[in-house]
């Protein structure tokens, strides 16, 4: 399952949003950030063997827009 950051943005803490907007070029979330997002949204995203989560192009575009706005 993809995270779909846009639809879960309001569930994320200000600290998590800040991390995402401070790192808008991050295409793979570290497992600690992925776990925080899981705890805050209840979404269990697809992860690789290292528990890292890749962001979709849509998520990346949304995060970049938030960082610029």
The pLDDT assigned to 19 comes to 98
List, for residues 24-35, the tens digit of each pLDDT value. Answer: 999 999 889 989
48 vs 53, residue with greater confidence: 53
Q: Which domain holds residue 41?
A: 5-68
DSSP 64: H
Mean pLDDT across the chain: 91
Number of domains in the chain: 1
Q: Treating both helix axes as pointing N-terminal to C-terminal, what angle do 57-68 and 14-22 enclose, rounded to 10 degrees? A: 100
| Interval 3-21: pLDDT, tens | 899 999 999 999 999 999 9
Handedness of CA 32, 9, 43, 46 (dihedral sign): negative
Q: Are 31 and 47 in contact (CB under 8 A)?
A: yes
Mean pLDDT of 45-52: 79
43: helix, strand or coil: coil
**Which token pair is 65?**
């827009």
């Amino acid at each position: 399952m993809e995270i779909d950051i846009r639809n879960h943005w309001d569930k994320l803490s200000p600290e998590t949003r800040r991390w995402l907007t401070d790192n808008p070029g991050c295409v793979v979330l570290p497992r600690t950030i992925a776990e925080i997002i899981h705890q805050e949204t209840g979404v269990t995203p697809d992860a690789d063997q290292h528990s890292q989560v890749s962001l979709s192009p849509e998520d990346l575009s949304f995060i970049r827009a938030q960082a610029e706005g």
